[in-house]
Amino acid sequence: MKIAFNNSIFFFQKNGGISRYFNSLAEELIKKNQDVKVIAPINKNNLLKKISPNNKVSFYIKRYPGYKFLENINNKITNHYIQKFEPNIFHETYYSNYSFNNNNSKKIITVYDLIHEKFTNYFTKDKISKKEKVIKNYDHYICISQNTKNDLIDLYKIPEKKVSVIYLSGSHYRKLNSNIENNSMEKKFFLYVGSRATYKNFKLITQCFKNNKNFNDYKIICFGGGQFTIDEKENFKKLNISHVDGGDDILVKLYKEAKCLILPSEYEGFGIPALEAMELGCPVLSSNIAALKETCGDAALYFNPYSEEELMQKINLFISNESLRNELIKKGLERAGLFSWKKCAEQTLTLYNSIL
């Protein structure tokens, strides 16, 4: 079987959950001796560097403007290589204007969430219309949670027989965590990972820390998601908060040393940071939205994402109740063990075979 992953996410994303997913999936499929090609002629993705040159078409550029003409050039080059490769499975990595037409190939897309459709006040209409133009042109759909599957069927009326749920994982850090012992150093910061924009609801954390003097001894560390904007710097003046960027080694260290990971989102498709944290013995404090509860099960402490008071109470629990924290660490390790990229790849390969 020949499997092609398209360039879309690698062109736009330097790091992040979606490119992590496709790189991890490719690595596991290659281990199973599948003929996989990641076709990303022009890309800025750091994770793609780990894929063998035999299994990718890739020219890495550290920084480039996201001009439309460059995207069109990339799609034309991609088309040349995909036509040459003649895949049995064409797996689109994100919603793009790239059009692949081959009656001998099955087209699959992974749907991560329906955030643009459900929170229209946060996004411009062109983001929704772009997805609407392409979303119905596939032979099968992979959803990363049951919650996303329900939303996809409800909003786009995709037949249920064409939709499968395959969970993602945080197991890419499993081999980095041979010694999971909860060290005795005092945990003096709370961790936040990823974008801080709109539905991610990061403002709830800042409001909570501003309004509670008991938290003055604790720091907030934000990993990734871009440098603080001018508005954020102004808003954060009274907070003990910092931004950190870097590779996996830095993020792993932060997970291991944090009091907990806080996930205040109003909506998610899944929750890779939650699984990453649990893999590394970092307890999770999460909003009680459906997808994050589906990911974390009983291994997280939950709060209402619209209640500053409730978040404040749960943060105080993490500060004052070490036995609860240790219990969540234990449950988190067990929960994370249920997910792996190997399992994700096995289920994906089974799906590929079933639709050919």
- Residue 226: CATH number of its domain: 3.40.50.2000
Same domain, 9 and 102: yes
Same domain, 293 and 202: yes
State which amino acid sits at residue 174.
Answer: R
CA–CA separation, 316 and 301 (whole Å) = 12
SS3 305: coil
Same domain, 76 and 61: yes
DSSP secondary structure letters along 195-220: --SGGG-HHHHHHHHHT-GGGTT-EE
In the block, residue with structure tokens 């009326």: 157
Residue among 282, 295, 356, 262 at smallest CA distance from 113? 295
Same domain, 156 and 228: no
Same domain, 332 and 346: no
Same domain, 90 and 180: no
Same domain, 180 and 61: no
Same domain, 183 and 210: yes
14 lies in which domain range? 2-169+340-355
Q: How many domains does the chain have?
A: 2
State which amino acid sits at residue 305.
Answer: P
Q: pTM value?
A: 0.93
- How far is Cα of residue 220 from the mean position of the Cα atoms in its chain? 21
Same domain, 233 and 289: yes
Same domain, 77 and 195: no
Residue 294 near residue 274 (C-beta atoms within 8 A): no
Same domain, 262 and 319: yes
CA–CA separation, 139 and 355 (whole Å) = 8
Same domain, 149 and 182: no
> Residue-wise pLDDT tens for the chain (356 aa)?
999 999 999 999 998 899 999 999 999 999 999 999 999 999 999 999 999 999 999 999 998 887 888 998 999 999 999 999 999 999 999 998 788 888 889 999 999 999 989 888 888 777 667 788 888 889 999 999 999 999 999 999 999 999 999 999 999 998 776 554 555 456 799 999 999 999 999 999 999 999 998 899 999 999 999 999 999 999 999 899 999 999 899 999 999 999 999 999 999 999 999 999 999 999 999 999 999 999 999 999 999 999 999 999 999 999 999 999 999 999 999 999 999 999 999 999 999 999 99
Residue among 295, 260, 302, 291 at smallest CA distance from 275? 295
